[in-house]
Structure 1
Amino acid sequence: MLKAFVVDNERLHMVDGLAANADKVVWVDLVSPTREEEQAIEKWLGVGVPTREEMEEIEISSRLYAEDGVYFMTATLPAHTDSDEPVIAPVTFVLAGKRLVTIRYHEPRAFQTFPMRAEKASIGCTSGETILVGLLEAIVDRLADVLERISRDIEVLSKEIFYPTETKASKRNVGFLLLLKQIGRKESLTSNMRNSLTTLQRLSGFLANATGQAKDGKDVRARVKTLSRDVASLADHASFLSQKITFLLDATLGMINIEQNAIIKIVSVAAVVFLPPTVVASIYGMNFDLMPELKWSLGYPLALGLMLVSAVFPFWYFRRRGWL
């Protein structure tokens, strides 16, 4: 799908088709483009556009490069971050003078909100450079919102781990299993965010160098510099969240081990408590003719009392030592 935008009074307006408005279009957004759409863009720009396989290459030289005065920049961006199955895929930004082309195969939220905002309000969209910077700012704002939500979710998980509401061991075990799944999802999402921010850091540095070569555009260079600082701070925050998630994972596994050790301790104590009575019962359960207490009238109550004392004494001793 091909979306073409023109600028009118520093606002974006989407137009129908590229051929009829080729001279006025400043931004073309390609979403899962066909080969015919790619050829139309290549004819419009005068250079070839990267394929999906080329966009997915991880070498920096394949993601950030210049060709005939046209700058190609690829970053990895997340989408569907509100669901349990977020999607992360590369997006390529092609800056050719005053024209901008974006190529993507998924739906990051910023590509929906930015055109709507730029159409309703004047946010300084005058050329491909300003549109690119505004789009990147919207992307960074979206990543910041996602990190804030992850931070709130981590606080909730922390309270559930260290201040459980369930008192029954069986329900706590089920709760720990759910917590492990939630921690795994948060770690996966945070890892994707760190990967995305890393690519944006490299992209912003490359873009700063590209805009620095222009004779004018001090405002654009200042915005790119601010963008770089914002991305760096978000990357640090994502690293902090990743460390905190790792701590919560270790804490959850520790809690599970404590629960298991408590169960094993109870079983071990029960075995020790009932072992002496079992020995007494085994002795007096033997069938020998010459047992002294066999015909003793007090033999039965004595055996019961001995079994009771041999069971109570270990229990009392464990309680006194603080093992129970």
Structure 2
Amino acid sequence: MISAYLSHHNRLEKLDLSDRHLSEAVWIDLEAPTEAEEDAVEAALGLDIPTREDMQEIEVSSRIYREGGVLFLTAQVIASPEAREAEIGPVTFAVQPDRLVTVHYHHPRSLTYFADWAARHDTALETGLDAALGLLEAIVDRLADILEGETRQHEALAKAIFAAHRPSGKAETLQVVLQRIGRAEAMNGKVNESLATVLRLLTYLTSTPEAADGPCLHARQMPMALAQLQDLRSLREVAAAQADKVRFLLDATLGVINIRQSDVIKIFSVVAFVFLPPTLIASIYGMNFKHMPELDWTWGYPMALGLMVISALVPWLLFKWKKWL
């Protein structure tokens, strides 16, 4: 799908491709493009759009390079729809002097958010790098929102783990907690990966001097890029702290599970110890020897029952006195 936007009176407007040409757009977004759509954009703009396989390369030289006067930048961007697990995928920014082309095969909400925001607010989108910096800022804001949401999730998990009074079905509850911790760790890993790739792009842009081969940051764009760099570094610190928090929650959950298993084993051990003396007494008087004087006693049976009760009660009281129960 092709979505094209032009800058009109410092506002982003969607371009009607039925009566306007792609070359008029300041930003062209390709979401899961077909081969025909790629050919149309390449013919209109004179650039070579990277394939999906090229976008998935992890080498830095494959994610940041200049070719034919076009700057190609690829970052991992999170798409986190509410109804399913968050997805992360590459987004390639093909930056020309007067426009930006983005290519992706998933649906990051940050790109849609930027288009909506720029349509309602005055923002200078004079060059392709202006559009790229605006999109990167939207991506950074989205990552910050995800980290804030994950912080609240971790607090809820901690309360669930360390709650003083647990509802019935404790084992099932802890299994659910473990699943939530696994999802939190997966999300934190995706956020950290996205932060690292965006940080790499901005570091390259802010450290590359002006060159003839492709666009570079101008003096008016540098403060915005440096501010985004500072935000990214602080977000990476937050992500690292959250990773430590997730590991702590996992260790705490496993510790609670071990404690509860120990409690169950302790209960069985106490029950076995309490009933061991009565069982011994019952076994003695269950022997079929001919000469057992207690068999002829009138109070022999009550005496045996009393011994069994006392032999069970004494260990139980001892455990209570030692506060082992």
- State TM-score, norm by structure 2: 0.94
Greater alpha carbon shift after TM alignment, 150-159 vs 214-223: 214-223
Q: Aligned-pair distance for 1:46?
A: 2.5
**2:242 maps to what in 1?**
241
1:42 aligned partner, one-letter code: E
Greater alpha carbon shift after TM alignment, 137-146 vs 122-131: 122-131
| Aligned pairs (5 A) from 1:293-304 | 293-304=294-305
Taking the aligned partners of 1:211 and 1:35, their CA distance within structure 2 comes to 35
| Aligned pairs (5 A) from 1:36-55 | 36-55=36-55
Matched, 1:123 2:123: yes
**Can you give the 5+ residue segments of structure 2 that lack an aligned partner in the other structure?**
none
1:76 aligned partner, one-letter code: Q
1:114 aligned partner, one-letter code: F
Q: Spell out, residue by residue over 1:135-154, the C-alpha distance to the aligned partner (whole angstroms, 9 max, x if none).
A: 11011111101110110111
**2:191 maps to what in 1?**
193
Taking the aligned partners of 1:237 and 1:201, their CA distance within structure 2 comes to 14
Q: Aligned-pair distance for 1:316?
A: 1.7
Greater alpha carbon shift after TM alignment, 45-54 vs 77-86: 77-86
| Residue aligned with 1:218, SS | coil
Runs of 4+ with >6 A deviation: none
Q: Spell out, residue by residue over 1:39-60, the C-alpha distance to the aligned partner (whole angstroms, 9 max, x if none).
A: 2222333231110011111111
Q: Over aligned residue pairs, what C-alpha RMSD do you find?
A: 1.8
Taking the aligned partners of 1:118 and 1:204, their CA distance within structure 2 comes to 21
1:208 aligned partner, one-letter code: T
Q: Aligned-pair distance for 1:212?
A: 4.9
- Residues 211 and 221 in structure 1, CA contact (< 8 A), matched pair in contact too: no
| Aligned pairs (5 A) from 1:66-105 | 66-105=66-105
- Residues 92 and 102 in structure 1, CA contact (< 8 A), matched pair in contact too: yes
Taking the aligned partners of 2:20 and 2:114, their CA distance within structure 1 comes to 24
Q: Aligned-pair distance for 1:164?
A: 4.7
- Residues 64 and 74 in structure 2, CA contact (< 8 A), matched pair in contact too: yes
Taking the aligned partners of 1:192 and 1:272, their CA distance within structure 2 comes to 52
Taking the aligned partners of 1:178 and 1:258, their CA distance within structure 2 comes to 18
Taking the aligned partners of 1:216 and 1:137, their CA distance within structure 2 comes to 15
**Can you give the 5+ residue segments of structure 1 that lack an aligned partner in the other structure?**
none
Q: Aligned-pair distance for 1:236?
A: 1.3
- Residues 4 and 18 in structure 1, CA contact (< 8 A), matched pair in contact too: no
**2:203 maps to what in 1?**
205
Q: How many residues are aligned here? A: 322
**2:158 maps to what in 1?**
158
| Residue aligned with 1:315, SS | helix
Greater alpha carbon shift after TM alignment, 20-29 vs 283-292: 20-29
- Residues 71 and 94 in structure 1, CA contact (< 8 A), matched pair in contact too: yes
Q: Aligned-pair distance for 1:65?
A: 1.1
Taking the aligned partners of 2:125 and 2:96, their CA distance within structure 1 comes to 16
Matched, 1:260 2:261: yes
- State TM-score, norm by structure 1: 0.94
**1:15 maps to what in 2?**
15
| Residue aligned with 1:13, SS | strand
Taking the aligned partners of 2:319 and 2:194, their CA distance within structure 1 comes to 56
**1:283 maps to what in 2?**
284
